[in-house]
């Protein structure tokens, strides 16, 4: 009985992606082999991992795991075959035709926004590498059978908007991707040449943990390749070294080899910003090779994205990818591998969560990464600033949730500042503090330029104190949790009382408040519900008034976060602080002295409150009324 053939259409985004792949990325065609070999390696990893709990999967097709390249120059056909986990019908359709995730759409958006030279990096970063096959092939055929199942499937497409799917009998376990190559172009790479394919394997996939083989007959003149007889009787030549890079001494590894391995692990095209490679001995024996990326992943802050991107090996055997137990979530941008000598091979995620040895690896690896970042900040400032622009907000998550490493993390933070020499660290700030300065002064907001003009800065700047300008949404939590650095408290200038007002000035202000108690009560009555209290203060030198959070009041970002997540936010307790030396406030005092019942007192009160809201970037409760009061004031001034 002839198997029924279905013709299905690609998802709209996939169709658009194929058009870009075929027509816009011609100069990067060679990456198709890297992507297909990497997919094959992943399939073998998945089989090995599933076989830890289902050993019968390895008996279905043999325990020898390898990747084979087959090339026929006469028909210009290249095939990449693995005996890994394979796919069933639903997986085949989901993975190769109707991608339901947002990765394809985000890839397309990024590709349009960036130059075509960035395309290879984006292809790997967004997980759409299979489609690079259509850059070199007129037709792609995928034959696959999932381990443990009997039915096989054949998928075929010419990249023209649709694909066919049919059941295929007698397929071996795993996947075979066959490419009918386009004609070679003069002076261009010819992917139907075995030597060209072998060179690409050496360049991009030398560190794959499984043998990548091709028929030895293609390499009769080469004595540098390891040759053997495969289970099907074919003499094959191994094209990759098969020795995991992390197992070699650092002194023997070049920067280029590290970069190539990074690209293999991440599917990215760029070089890593920093490489961290070490071997730990003693209580827990393991080797780690991890990288700090040079670019920020598109899904770094996506709640549904991976919480870790470090793979776990045990004695060079792949056990688990994206092992969350190896790094804290605030280091989720780290990529690489950890190979342990102590853990059992048949570990599950539940066992890992309770394993003390793995907890020690996580603790030690975290310290190593932080030390490497500290060295990067000291020796390569420009590179560190680039890193912090990409990943600084993630590090700050560690300040909020990680008590043990909080001080170390704090020393790695970079802030904008009122100091004139660019971004600064807390270490640098403390070193510049004035002899009489009691605290590290900070101001949290959404925009550096607005913060630089904030009335909250006036008194501190007048005294020559440097102020850190914190513009990440998470900074409010960072300041609250960090509290101090190197024994110096962090003091938000928009919260509580100032610590640099001298006793004489405090006594003067207290005297003014006693003298004008009835005025303050009148203003408080008018602003009831908008502010918790009204007082005189020394926080401003040029502005008439400023709004100040009470010491334990919920902050602006926290209040907004609670509101956006449907939770009730505690009342934000704020004070309106008046500058008694400002002409507008002096005029208010005069008005109250002359006629405590004057309606202009209440008008001045609303104007001062609205002005304070505008100065901090907050919305007015009644913009129309405020506008009318301004117009009335202007008419009075010209009368």
Residue 349's pLDDT is what? 57
Buried b (16+ CB within 10 A) or exposed e, 540-560: bbebbbbbbbbeebbbbbbbe
Q: 359 pLDDT band (50/70/90 cuts)? A: confident
Residue that the structure tokens 């904008």 belong to: 416
Is residue 25 over pLDDT 60? no
Q: What's 503-638's CATH class?
A: mainly alpha
Do strands 235-238 and 137-145 pair parallel, antiparallel, or not at all (unpaired)?
unpaired
Note the pLDDT tens digit of each residue in 483-510.
999 999 999 999 988 889 888 999 999 9
**pLDDT confidence of residue 116:** 43
β partners of residue 213: 68, 238
Report pLDDT digits (tens) over 69-122. 999 999 999 999 999 999 999 888 887 865 434 444 555 565 555 544 444 444
Pick the range with the lowest mean pLDDT from 341-355, 384-398, 612-626.
341-355
Does 123 have pLDDT greater than 80? no
How far is residue 596's CA from residue 574's CA, in Å, rounded to a whole number?
25
pLDDT of residue 111: 54
Q: Which residue ranges make up each domain of the chain? A: 5-242, 246-382, 413-498, 503-638
More confident residue, 553 or 595: 595
| Mean pLDDT taken over the chain | 85
Work out the pLDDT band at 512, boundaries 50, 70, 90. Answer: very high
For the domain 413-498, what is the CATH code? 3.40.50.11260
Range name among 119-123, 263-267, 434-438, 597-601 with the lowest pLDDT average: 119-123
User: What mean pLDDT comes out for the span 263-276?
Assistant: 86
Task: Tell me which residue has tokens 């506008």.
Answer: 627
Burial 158-194 (b: 16+ CB within 10 A, else e): ebeeebebbeeeebbbbbbbbbebbeeeeeeeebbeb
Cα 603 to Cα 74, 520, 527, 611: the distances in Å are 90, 14, 11, 12
Task: Say which DSSP state 552 is in.
Answer: T
Structure confidence at residue 189 (pLDDT): 78
Phi, psi (degrees; rounded to nearest 5) at 310: -120, 130
N-terminal to C-terminal alpha carbon distance within the chain: 100
**Which residues, listed in sequence order, are joined to residue 469 by a DSSP beta bridge?**
416, 443
Give the pLDDT band (50/70/90) at residue 346. Answer: low
pLDDT over threshold 90, residue 320: no
Q: Is 312 exposed, middle or buried (0-12, 13-18, 19+ CB in 10 A)?
A: buried
In which band, very low, low, confident or very high, does the pLDDT at 20 lie, cut at 50, 70 and 90?
low
162 pairs with which residues across the strands? 9
Q: Report the pLDDT value the prediction gives residue 313, as an integer from 0 to 100.
A: 83
Per-residue pLDDT tens digits for 443-469: 998 888 889 999 999 999 999 999 999
In CATH, what number does 5-242 get? Answer: 3.30.565.10
Burial string for 117-132 (b: 16+ CB within 10 Å, else e) reads: ebbbbbbbbbbbbbbb
Class of domain 246-382: alpha beta
- pLDDT above 70 coverage of the chain, percent: 86
pLDDT at position 193:
93
Looking at residue 99, what is its pLDDT? 47
Give the Cα separation of 431 and 627 in Å (integer): 47
pLDDT at residue 352, rounded to an integer: 65
Q: What is the mean pLDDT of residues 148-166?
A: 90
Best mean pLDDT range from 275-284, 288-297, 567-576: 288-297
Higher pLDDT, 99 or 330: 330
Please report the pLDDT score of residue 125 as a whole number: 41
Give the pLDDT score at 93.
84
Give residue 21's pLDDT: 63
Rg (CA), the chain: 33
């Amino acid at each position: 009985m002839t198997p029924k053939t279905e013709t299905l259409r690609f998802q709209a985004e996939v169709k658009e992606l194929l058009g870009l792949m075929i027509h816009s990325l011609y100069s990067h065609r060679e990456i198709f082999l890297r992507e297909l070999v990497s997919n094959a390696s992943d399939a073998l990893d998945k089989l090995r991992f599933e076989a830890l709990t289902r050993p019968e999967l390895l008996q279905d097709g043999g325990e020898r795991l390898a990747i084979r390249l087959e090339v026929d120059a006469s028909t210009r056909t290249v095939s990449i075959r693995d005996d890994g986990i394979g796919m069933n019908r639903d997986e085949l359709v989901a993975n190769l035709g109707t991608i339901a995730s947002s990765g394809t759409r985000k890839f397309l958006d990024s590709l349009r926004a960036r130059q075509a030279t960035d395309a290879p990096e984006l292809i790997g970063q967004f997980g759409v590498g299979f489609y690079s096959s259509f850059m070199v092939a007129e037709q792609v055929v995928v034959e696959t059978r999932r381990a443990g199942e009997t039915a096989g499937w054949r998928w075929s497409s010419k990249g023209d908007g649709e694909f066919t799917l049919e059941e295929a009998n007698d397929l071996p376990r795993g996947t075979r991707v066959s490419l009918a190559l386009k004609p070679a172009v003069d002076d261009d790479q010819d992917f139907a040449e075995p030597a060209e394919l072998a060179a690409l394997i050496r360049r991009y996939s030398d560190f794959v943990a499984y043998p990548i083989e091709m028929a030895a007959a293609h390499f009769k003149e080469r004595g540098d390749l390891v040759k053997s007889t495969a289970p099907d009787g074919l003499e094959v030549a191994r094209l990759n070294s098969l020795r995991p890079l992390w197992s070699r001494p650092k002194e023997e590894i070049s920067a280029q080899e590290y970069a190539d391995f990074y690209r293999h692990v991440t599917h990215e095209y760029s070089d890593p910003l920093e490489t961290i490679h070490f071997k730990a001995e003693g209580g827990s024996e393991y080797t780690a090779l991890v990288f700090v990326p040079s670019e920020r992943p598109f899904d770094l802050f996506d709640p549904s994205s991976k919480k870790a991107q470090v793979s776990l090996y045990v004695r060079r055997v792949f056990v688990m990818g994206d092992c969350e137990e190896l790094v804290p979530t605030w280091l989720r941008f780290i990529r690489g591998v950890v190979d342990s000598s102590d853990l059992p091979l048949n570990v599950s995620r539940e066992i890992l969560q309770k394993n003390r040895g793995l907890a020690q690896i996580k603790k030690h690896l975290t310290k190593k990464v932080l030390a490497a970042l500290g060295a990067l900040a000291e020796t390569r400032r420009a590179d560190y600033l680039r890193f912090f622009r990409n990943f600084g907000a993630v590090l700050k998550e560690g300040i909020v949730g990680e008590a043990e490493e909080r001080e170390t993390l704090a020393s790695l933070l970079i802030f904008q500042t009122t100091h004139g020499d660019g971004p600064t660290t807390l270490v640098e700030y403390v070193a510049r503090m004035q002899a009489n300065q009691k605290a590290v002064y900070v101001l949290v907001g959404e925009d550096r330029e607005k913060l630089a003009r904030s009335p909250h800065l006036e008194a501190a700047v007048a005294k020559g104190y440097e102020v850190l300008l914190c513009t990440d949404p998470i900074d409010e939590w960072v300041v609250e949790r960090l509290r101090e650095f190197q024994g110096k408290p962090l003091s938000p200038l928009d919260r509580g009382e100032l610590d640099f007002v001298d006793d004489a000035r405090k006594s003067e202000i207290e005297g003014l408040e006693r003298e004008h108690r009835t005025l303050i009560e009148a203003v408080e009555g008018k602003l009831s519900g908008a502010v918790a209290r009204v007082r005189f203060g020394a926080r401003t030198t040029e502005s008439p008034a400023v709004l100040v959070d009470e010491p334990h009041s919920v902050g602006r970002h926290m209040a907004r976060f609670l509101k956006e997540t449907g939770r009730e936010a505690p009342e934000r307790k704020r004070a309106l602080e008046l500058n008694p030396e400002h002409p507008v406030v002096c005029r208010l005092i005069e008005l109250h002295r002359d006629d405590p019942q004057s309606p202009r007192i209440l008008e001045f009160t609303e104007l001062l409150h609205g002005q304070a809201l505008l100065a901090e970037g907050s919305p007015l409760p009644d913009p129309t009324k405020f506008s009318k009061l301004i117009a009335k004031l202007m008419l009075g001034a010209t009368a």
